[in-house]
Amino acid sequence: MRVIANGGTHEIELQRSRFLCHLGRIDGEDAAVAFIAAVRREHRSANHNCSAFRIGSHAESQRSSDDGEPAGTAGVPMLEVLVRRELTDIVAVVTRYFGGVKLGAGGLVRAYGSAVAAAVDTVGTVRRLRFASLRVGVGHADAGRLRNALHAAGHRIATVDYAREATFTVHVPQSGTAAFREWLAGQTAGAAVAVEGEPVDLDVPD
């Protein structure tokens, strides 16, 4: 799946109607509802504030609203853009200020879909991947050498805890855990082992 790199607002104009697409990164339905309500308050004088959102690691929750536009001409094409782009944890609200020219059903579908697509292109996207969270403990005398080796190999160090020993939490793509364990054994002559914790979802560049 993908998520937007940042939230933001982008405007397009068609037949004198203004379409402002507001995008937000969200972590649940309550956040989506709050985002939509905030846009409605800010643009209470607009003719329509149509919306769509997708939530979950596999976008298992999604919803759209036409907000008074003819059924299926606003929220649905907005949601279809999010589906085609494989986006999740995103809410989109398109605010329309009517310019006096009726667009017809087909024109509305194109306008709302184009508004969302243009906004997504503007803010950019990143991939969201699942990483294993591996804890590696070494003696303090070996901590600096292991840290340098991890950095040199491009591994993601999430945290380092210095207690009785130095414990590194390293995030590794789930498909690469076996290779990491082999690499670690080579770096420490088999003295260090990786203990797997809860996986995490991380954003990485497209």
**CATH number of the domain encompassing residue 62:** 3.30.230.30
Residues of the chain with pLDDT under 50: none
Strands (E), 56-165: 61-65, 90-97, 125-138, 156-162
Do 18 and 99 lie in one domain? The reply is yes
Do 51 and 88 lie in one domain? The reply is yes
What per-residue confidence (pLDDT) applies to 114? 98
Do 73 and 58 lie in one domain? The reply is yes
- Could you give the number of structural domains in the chain? 2
Which of residues 82, 102, 123 is at a domain's end?
123
Do 173 and 133 lie in one domain? The reply is yes
Do 173 and 105 lie in one domain? The reply is no
Q: Which domain holds residue 45?
A: 2-123
Do 24 and 94 lie in one domain? The reply is yes
Do 84 and 145 lie in one domain? The reply is no
Note the pTM of the prediction, 2 decimals.
0.86
What per-residue confidence (pLDDT) applies to 206? 80
Which of residues 98, 123, 148 is at a domain's end?
123
Which of residues 78, 101, 123 is at a domain's end?
123
102 — alpha (psi -120 to 50), left (phi > 0) or beta?
beta
Give the SS3 label for residue 37: helix
